[in-house]
Structure 1
Amino acid sequence: MERLGFSVVWCGAILFTSSLLSGHTGVQAVFKMHKLCRFCDFRPSTCNATGICLSNCTINSICEVQDEVCVAAWHRENMTVETVCHDPSLPFHGVMLDDYNNTKCVMKQYKALDPHFYICSCTTDECNDELIFTPRDVIQAVPIVLIALLPVLVLAVLIISVLYIYRMRALHQLRAKHGHKGPAHSYSDTCTIIGRDDCGTTLTNSMNHNTELLPIDLEILVGKGRFAEVYRARLEQRPCATGRAPFQTVAVKIFPCEEYASWKTERSIFSDAELRHENVLHFLTAEERMVEGQYWLVTAYHARGNLQDYLRARLLSWEHLLQLGSSLARALAHLHADRTPCGRPKTAIVHRDLKSSNVLVKDDLTCCLCDFGLGLRLDSALSVDELANSGQVGTARYMAPEVLESRINLENIESFKQADVYSMALVLWEITSRCTAIGDVKEYEPPFGKLQENPCVESMKDSVIRDRERPDIPNSWCKHLGIKEVCMVITECWDQDPEARLTAHCVIERFNALQHVDLSPEQKIPSDTVGDEK
């Protein structure tokens, strides 16, 4: 152990010192994080090539690739500014960026370009909002000063490393101590973590406030997203008073340490007790796994997987369509509501990334909404500026027209809900397209399936705004009276005008009415014709 500690200490010292000497911050040298940059097409500019000016861009975007940096380009001739994320290993307007390690966006002329064309690049969040034409004086550190500070830096690294080793040794001893007591004493009683009611059918959003981590064994990887991975896992625990152990199989969403902000956002929303609903993913606990350098969210596990994969593999009956569609609407209506079913005040929440891959299918064949990493609590105390800073987020394919254009009415928080309803309409279209009641069912494809796999915002603008396109609803679908009503709901939900769209609550009422529609035999496809797709 002492030999390991010695190695860790000196490796840490060398790494820390090398980071300083090479001009990188310690954290960035070890962990690469997705940058948050201003991201606009050309915007009018008042810059005059002197001093400091702003980009006039109000849209923030998380860069898709870890290595991308924030870039801004100023065109003197037409007085416009362009702000983007860009991979510095690739040319930008035909030139290679050679100053992308800056923390500030210092404008620079490139000889290969027009003399009236300036470019800057930088590595800190939103750094391409402030364009610097006259760099501020920066005091360059003299190598002699670094050499003088080197012993102090090494000592600091030594102290940190010793504390880390001490913590690891204490944790190892604690685990060894509990190991002799048997499994009944090696962890907290999970019944006290998730609440007494969890032995029944009611689930409680909770947090693990105990110092010990839950005994969770990861089994297999079942999903992988942009910020996290999801595993099926087994939670070992003592039985509750009823004699059975609930949630033996759970889902664990694991965020790496550099995605702490996403984990924190989702944990904050899940921790709201008023979020609890049968069609919202049941949250058990959140844990900070410092040893592994990870952040965990532990939730209920649904073996049928997400709705997109479910639709890709199966056809649906008319009854099954009603189940999926109505339960999805109930989930969204609960999120958007400012009161609970019991009448208690509740903060409305918008999902902002509603799509079929963020909806799970439960064993009772109803929908279950998940993945709140981009969720937003519509607190009445939020100012317009705070709402504006939430930026243009989500998946481009499912973005409403006003989100694509960044013209959401920030004076009215209902605008955020209307954008969610548009996304829900696309998911309802996906469900309907796989129902045998429409007649000839084609292979699954996502909304706007003719576009590339991950279309960008500009491509979606061309289709949704310029051409006013929507997923195709053939006339043959409407031969079934029930499907015809569902298609009317869909078209009203994806209306170009946000104010004209239905609310999620209205969609519930429409589906409830369809439950009682008396369909004649020739208008209703028997459910026994439904099965796995050949």
Structure 2
Amino acid sequence: MVPAPQGPDDSTNLLCTCENNKGTCRNGTCRGDYCFYTKVHGREERGCFQRDHYKEQCYTNFLGLYVLCCSNNLCNVNSSAPPDPAVEPTREGNGVILLVAVPLLLLLILSVGVCGLVLWLRSRSQHHRLGYSKDHDVTMLKVPSGADPTYGDVFDEFCTSGSGTGLPYLVQRTMARQISLVECIGKGRYGEVWRGTWMGESVAVKIFSSRDEQSWFRETEIYNTVQLRHDNILGFIASDMTSQNSTTQLWLITHFHQLGSLYDFLQYSSVDPEGCLRMCLSVACGLVHLHTEILSCQGKPAIAHRDLKSRNILVKMNGQCCIADLGLAVMHSQTSDYLDVGNNPRVGTKRYMAPEVLDESIRMDIFESYKQTDIWALGLVLWEISRRTIVNGNTHTCTHTHTHTRNYEVNKNALSSLIGT
């Protein structure tokens, strides 16, 4: 790796060798502030990038990924990944290795067997002393402990930093070519959601049309926030641009949850009181994580969702929920007192809007106002869950919170009168 330049005189563009399948090369070369060579699972690329992306591209080291950055003309023309240090042993060394390895292996097997026997005897003794008193155990509510699907060893290697920003930038930009779309699982005003396969695992692909670029850009920006990853926030994998039938598509790739949205789940299922508490607690935990600012060298700004509803909450296989669709989110930094509302023309869902939003009395320049509207929407979501909770063997029939407004646009004045404003 080359150190980041210190002075303004190093800003001249370099001539770099360019080899990729993205159509960005001209006669096998390109110009930028730095040249790079990367090898990801056997696939090599050469090219250039600007100074702004130096840190995120040149300080990425994961198993299966090799990146080399340099700052001289055509310095990446003959670059290559270092060879595997493992050297095949000679025939003379095979005998010595066997003489050493076989006794060690036998000793290891014997040690594991003895340890296993000791642990089994200890466990049996403890069960005997406790008298198998399972009927007296108390089930406690716990903070969500993580039940997101795994996406293969490669994804685990890429996402062990805990930053929550998904895969490295260079890997994200090739995701669309590695994913096979299987079936469309949802449609909305701003695009479609597909189930796809990547490395043998199911992923969710939210496809925006080119006219909704602002929504895609904003949601990608929010998901790339450092330390956003949380068990009750939809797991972000990558975002990419691709072309289908001469039309530009914008992809947002996330974890896939086969139970679908909380809205759809409550249409055909009811929950017991324990399941109700689990769902409500997980949604509240996710919203608290969004609202909380983390102060550190790589901290997280406070985030308000602004479009919290049961359709934007997904149900996980363990009965918990995770919050999705951050396209309308607002970010706020307490240290700089900066409020970032984005540049998205979308508006929230009227039937979940707080009274101050409906009568337009909300203070748009105060971040706490946005957090309060999230709490109003959270109350409606908790009410939806509680209506489908079995109490004394009974539950409400599946009539959604706003069934009477489903087939036409909600009238603002009518809603205002209903909530007493």
**What is the TM-score when the length of structure 1 is the normalising length?**
0.47
Name the structure 2 match of 1:265.
218
Gaps of 5+ in 2: 1-21, 27-39, 46-61, 66-153
* Aligned mate of 2:236, from 264, 278, 283: 283
Deviates more, 1:330-339 or 1:371-380: 371-380
CA distance in 1, matches of 2:161, 2:240: 24
CA distance in 2, matches of 1:273, 1:468: 38
CA distance in 1, matches of 2:350, 2:63: 40
Question: For residues 143-184 of structure 1, what are the alpha-carbon distances to aligned partners after superposition, in whole Å with 9 as ceiling and x for unaligned?
Answer: xxxxxxxxxxxxxxxxxxxxxxx94999xxxxxxxxxxxx96
Deviation at 1:220, TM superposition (A): 0.5
Name the structure 1 match of 2:157.
196
Secondary structure in 1 matching 2:319: coil
Deviation at 1:410, TM superposition (A): 3.2
* Aligned mate of 1:205, from 166, 183, 197: 166
Deviation at 1:289, TM superposition (A): 1.2
- One-letter code aligned to 1:466: S
Name the structure 1 match of 2:29.
none
Quickly say closer, same or farther: Cα 1:446–1:207, change in 2 above 3 A: farther
Name the structure 2 match of 1:446.
400
Is residue 2:327 matched to residue 1:373? yes
Deviation at 1:223, TM superposition (A): 1.3
Name the structure 2 match of 1:358.
312
Secondary structure in 1 matching 2:227: helix
* Aligned mate of 1:426, from 375, 380, 388: 380
Name the structure 2 match of 1:225.
188
Quickly say closer, same or farther: Cα 1:419–1:286, change in 2 above 3 A: same
Deviates more, 1:406-415 or 1:293-302: 406-415
Is residue 2:268 matched to residue 1:316? no
Structure 1 residues 54-93: aligned runs within 5 Å: none
CA distance in 2, matches of 1:294, 1:446: 33
* Aligned mate of 1:252, from 191, 194, 205: 205
Secondary structure in 1 matching 2:222: helix
Is residue 2:289 matched to residue 1:334? yes
Deviation at 1:203, TM superposition (A): 6.2
Name the structure 1 match of 2:32.
none
Secondary structure in 1 matching 2:391: helix
Deviation at 1:249, TM superposition (A): 1.3
CA distance in 2, matches of 1:334, 1:343: 18
Secondary structure in 2 matching 1:328: helix
8 A contact 2:196–2:202 mirrored in 1: yes
Deviation at 1:444, TM superposition (A): 1.9
CA distance in 2, matches of 1:434, 1:209: 45
Q: Could you say what the CA RMSD is over the residues aligned between the two structures, in angstroms?
A: 3.5
CA distance in 2, matches of 1:270, 1:388: 14
Secondary structure in 2 matching 1:231: strand
Deviation at 1:454, TM superposition (A): 4.4
8 A contact 1:348–1:377 mirrored in 2: yes
Question: For residues 252-279 of structure 1, what are the alpha-carbon distances to aligned partners after superposition, in whole Å with 9 as ceiling and x for unaligned?
Answer: 1111111111100000000112211000
Secondary structure in 2 matching 1:443: coil
- One-letter code aligned to 2:391: A
Quickly say closer, same or farther: Cα 1:333–1:327, change in 2 above 3 A: same
Question: For residues 345-383 of structure 1, what are the alpha-carbon distances to aligned partners after superposition, in whole Å with 9 as ceiling and x for unaligned?
Answer: 421111111110100001111011001111111245577
Secondary structure in 2 matching 1:218: strand
> Which structure has greater strand proportion?
2
CA distance in 2, matches of 1:190, 1:317: 44
Secondary structure in 1 matching 2:361: coil
Question: For residues 258-309 of structure 1, what are the alpha-carbon distances to aligned partners after superposition, in whole Å with 9 as ceiling and x for unaligned?
Answer: 1111100000000112211000001011111146511111111111111011
Name the structure 1 match of 2:258.
303
Deviation at 1:422, TM superposition (A): 0.4
* Aligned mate of 1:215, from 158, 175, 178: 178
Is residue 2:403 matched to residue 1:462? no
CA distance in 2, matches of 1:405, 1:393: 15
Quickly say closer, same or farther: Cα 1:256–1:391, change in 2 above 3 A: closer
CA distance in 2, matches of 1:295, 1:272: 19
Question: For residues 432-478 of structure 1, what are the alpha-carbon distances to aligned partners after superposition, in whole Å with 9 as ceiling and x for unaligned?
Answer: 0000116532322222433343442xx24323x32426xxxxxxxxx
CA distance in 2, matches of 1:365, 1:303: 12
Quickly say closer, same or farther: Cα 1:375–1:203, change in 2 above 3 A: closer
Is residue 2:360 matched to residue 1:406? yes
8 A contact 1:318–1:435 mirrored in 2: yes
Count of residue pairs the alignment pairs up: 278
Secondary structure in 2 matching 1:363: coil
Gaps of 5+ in 1: 1-165, 171-182, 237-244, 470-495, 497-534
CA distance in 2, matches of 1:345, 1:225: 33
CA distance in 2, matches of 1:452, 1:407: 26
CA distance in 1, matches of 2:345, 2:158: 39
Question: For residues 3-44 of structure 1, what are the alpha-carbon distances to aligned partners after superposition, in whole Å with 9 as ceiling and x for unaligned?
Answer: xxxxxxxxxxxxxxxxxxxxxxxxxxxxxxxxxxxxxxxxxx
